[in-house]
Amino acid sequence: MVSGKMVLMADFLAAAESRGRKLVLYNCDAQPKINMEIKIARSDEDILKCWNVLFELRPHLDKNSFLPTVKEMLTEGYQLAFIEINNEAVAAIGFRYQQYLYNGKHFYIDDISTMPLYRGKGYAGKLIDHVTAKAKEKGFKSVTLDSGYQRFDAHRLYLNKGFTLHCHHFFKMI
């Protein structure tokens, strides 16, 4: 409202042009088209691309042992998928096949993380959808994960993706 009257966009543009100014308008609601191609980390190079994003989730990790640890985990059935922008992984998910008496064959998500600047843009959801689709293809009945009590934003994502709170996971250091 200006001087008690609502200024129309056309009037605003005309006034700016009459003063010799050119305005460029941006649609603030428009979302840029983002490439969310999911890649599978198999090479050393791809595994190392995932270092920064996984370090966000697991700050206790040692960079020198990261590559050999992930390579060993890959031989044990761990799979690492990621989405990259400008040759850097901005989101990653690590998961593996498991089978238990209580829920049968399923994928367990070990790790899921998104770089802070890219959170809230759908990357983690896309990765969860990828793992869920792979589980369905294999005839599995579930996808499971554990999450720290303090990860409220992550919990909101999991609930929105259809996960339910199922149990407490207990841990004993030895």
The pTM of the full predicted model, rounded to 2 decimals, is 0.78
pLDDT of residue 99: 96
Number of domains in the chain: 1
pLDDT of residue 27: 44
Q: Is 117 within 8 Å of 141 (Cβ atoms)?
A: no
pLDDT of residue 33: 55
Instruction: Determine, yes or no, domain membership for 74.
Output: yes
Give the other-Cβ count within 10 Å of 65's Cβ. Answer: 10
Instruction: Determine, yes or no, domain membership for 21.
Output: no
Instruction: Determine, yes or no, domain membership for 20.
Output: no
Cα atoms found within 13 Å of the Cα of residue 165, Cβ hemisphere only: 8
CATH of the domain at 42: 3.40.630.30
Q: What is the mean pLDDT of each run of 10 residues along the chain (174 residues)?
A: 48 58 47 76 98 97 98 98 96 97 95 97 97 97 92 92 90 90
Instruction: Determine, yes or no, domain membership for 165.
Output: no
Tell me which residue range forms the domain holding 126.
34-160
Instruction: Determine, yes or no, domain membership for 15.
Output: no
pLDDT of residue 167: 86
Of 75, 87, 85, the C-alpha closest to 126 is 85
pLDDT of residue 28: 43
| Cα–Cα distance list, 62 to 9, 18, 23, 75, 108 (Å) | 55, 62, 51, 20, 23
Instruction: Determine, yes or no, domain membership for 144.
Output: yes
d(CA 34, CA 31): 8
